[in-house]
Amino acid sequence: MFETHWVPPPPHLGLIVEEAHVWRVALAGDTAQAERYWPTLSRDEQQRATQLHFVSDRQRFVIARGILREILGRYLCLAPADIEFAYESRGKPRLPKCASLRFNLAHSHELALIVVAREREVGIDVEQICAAIEAQTLSAQFFAPTEVQALDALPVTERLPAFFRCWTRKEAYLKAIGAGLFKPLDQFAVSLAPGQAAALLEVKWSEAETQRWSLWHLDVGPHYAAALAVEGRLARLCCWQWTHATTD
């Protein structure tokens, strides 16, 4: 299984077609950080932030979007505020002035992940592992039959992390294909057992999908599950740790 090592990024970022870059970002920010990133956001991003009820959610949204712009600006050689986004019909963002650069953002609680690649679709997901989740009830309701069987076969202590491994892999794939949750979750299956490589095992609407996509398990730290979906096969995955010092 691929081991995730989060290291500081190099001063100059090179990104070739055969690789993808994943950034791990801590969102335990404060008002000062949110205020710093606020001017770099577009009007629609600012409007989305103001619609969030809780202050902590607003701050995390602003910081995540601001850092996304900072990171993309490094690849595009643009100021964060100068980056323009366009959105597909189901909400997947793109860069209309640099269509070859693909990216995706996910965040949960105090952690965000950003993936950047060239000329290949990508999707990423991260979820805080919550012990209050009724894993077996939800899996029976939403997962594919083979996934439900695989989950039920695990020891009780393994079921909760396996549920979140499954969920993040499914969500990463749906985000990669630009479907959000518009595709039924029980119409495709992924691996979930501990020690089993991340993989797309079955897609009922197209057998070719399992060969078209690869899934990656991401070890982002305790209490979280995360996964990456990539179009095709990668020669290398670079895992960068974002720190605010990198913006100096």
CATH (domain of 222): 3.90.470.20
pLDDT of the residue at 59? 94
Residue 81 is assigned to a structural domain of this protein: no
- Give per-residue pLDDT as tens, 172-202: 999 999 987 678 999 999 999 999 999 999 9
CB neighbours of residue 81 within 10 Å: 13
Q: What contacts 127, CB < 8 A, 6 or more positions away?
A: 108, 164, 167, 168, 171, 224, 225, 226
The Cα–Cα gap between 169 and 57 comes to 24
Of the candidates 82, 107, 83, 104, the one whose C-alpha atom is nearest the C-alpha of residue 29 is 107
What is the spatial distance between Cα 219 and Cα 194, in angstroms, rounded to a whole number?
13
- Does the residue 235 lie in any domain? yes
- Residue 247, pLDDT > 80, answer no
Number of structural domains (the chain) is 1
pLDDT of residue 244: 67
Give the structural domain span for 112: 1-29+101-248
- Cα 81 to Cα 42: distance, rounded to the nearest angstrom: 7
- The confidence score (pLDDT) of residue 179 equals 81
Choose the weakest-confidence range: 17-31, 61-75, 165-179. 17-31
What is the band of 246 on the pLDDT scale with cuts at 50, 70, 90? very low
Q: Is residue 46 part of a domain?
A: no
Give the CA distances from residue 172 to residues 115, 155, 232, in Å, rounded to whole numbers and listed in that order.
11, 26, 14
